[in-house]
Amino acid sequence: MFDKEFKTAVLAAKKAGYLLKAMSQGDLKVEYKSEIDLVTQADRAAEALVVKMLRRNFPGDDILTEETNRDRTRSDRRWIIDPLDGTTNYAHRFPFWCVSIAFEFKGQVVLGAIYNPNLNELFTARKGQGAWLNGKKISVSSQSTLKKSLLATGFPYDVHYSKKDNLDNFKRFIKRAQAVRRPGSAALDLAYVACGRFDGFWEMKLKTWDMAAASLMVTEAGGKLSGFKGQKFSIYVPECLATNGKIHRKMIEVLK
């Protein structure tokens, strides 16, 4: 089921990744959506490529993307696209960014593809069938001690002026965990939880396209998702705690 959708998502993620990598070698025109929220012509070019492929194969589907709202429909088949997750990294030529594509059917994400062309790493997941990295099945880590855990997080685009900036959480975790990283792409952070590179991840003020594909990878790899207080996770609620399951309760206690 959804074989054509899966193949299309993988192909679109790869093609967009190749395009982004090629464009990163040239001069980048950077614009600002807010003080520190960037967009480049590469974001828009990658999005246009993906949308064109989806429209050709699935003309009536709803398409939710980061950069435009013109492709929305009332279909219960929804594509959720981040054409370039990690734009600030990309603009500075820091090679930690990716293309993220998810397909949601009747309110449930059923497949996802995330591609990082810098490492040629393709993360994929299908609901009920598992998660993979370059075709090899992946699973979350087995670490059960927070003190020995490697965590990841990020900071919201309003960090310069908002009091809800995640710095308080970061301070607490840096004292409790083995280490905390802030790489700059929530989609890849979550994919890294899925494959066991990170033991846990938390972030606030996320967008749906940041989490859609990668959240499925976490659960299909045996991990756990929730809000900061343990409430039910939703890609439409801008808060995410993702772990291997074994340190989940410990991270909730710190977040409280």
CA-wise closest residue to 74 among 58, 65, 83, 63: 63
Query: Measured between alpha carbons, how far is 8 from 241 in angstroms, rounded to an integer?
Result: 29
Place of tokens 């074994």: 246
Residue of higher predicted confidence among 223 and 39: 223
Q: Identify the pLDDT of residue 45.
A: 92
Q: What secondary structure letter does DSSP report for 148? A: G
Three-state secondary-structure class, residue 56: helix
pLDDT of the residue at 182: 97
Residue 36 has pLDDT above 80, yes or no: no
For residue 99, the model assigns a pLDDT of 98
For 238, which DSSP code?
S
How far apart, in whole angstroms, are the C-alpha atoms of residue 84 and residue 119?
Answer: 15
List the domain boundaries for the chain: 3-137, 146-255
User: Strand, helix or coil at 145?
Assistant: coil
Predicted pLDDT at 70? 73
- What sign has the CA pseudo-torsion 32, 35, 38, 39? negative
- Which tens digit of pLDDT belongs to each residue from 97-152? 999 999 999 999 999 999 999 999 999 999 999 999 999 999 999 999 999 999 99
User: Which residues is 113 bridged to in the sheet?
Assistant: 101, 124
Per residue in 205-251, pLDDT tens?
Answer: 999 999 999 999 999 999 999 999 999 999 999 999 999 999 999 99
Q: Residue 89's CB: how many other CB atoms inside 10 A?
A: 20
Residue 8 CB-half CA count within 13 A: 18
pTM of the full structure = 0.94
The predicted structure's pLDDT at residue 40 = 78
- Class of CATH domain 3-137: alpha beta
State yes or no: pLDDT of 156 exceeds 80. Answer: no
- Per-residue pLDDT of 56-79, as tens digits, reads 999 999 999 987 777 788 899 999
Cβ–Cβ under 8 Å, residues 151 and 199: yes
**pLDDT computed for residue 31 by the predictor:** 72
Which residue stretches of the chain are H helix?
3-23, 41-57, 87-91, 167-176, 186-194, 208-220, 248-255
Kindly report, residue by residue over 157-212, the tens digit of the pLDDT.
Answer: 777 877 787 999 999 999 999 999 999 999 999 999 999 999 999 999 999 999 99
pLDDT for 37 equals 63
Task: Sort strands 38-40 and 136-137 into parallel, antiparallel or unpaired.
Answer: unpaired
Architecture of domain 146-255: 3-Layer(aba) Sandwich (3.40)
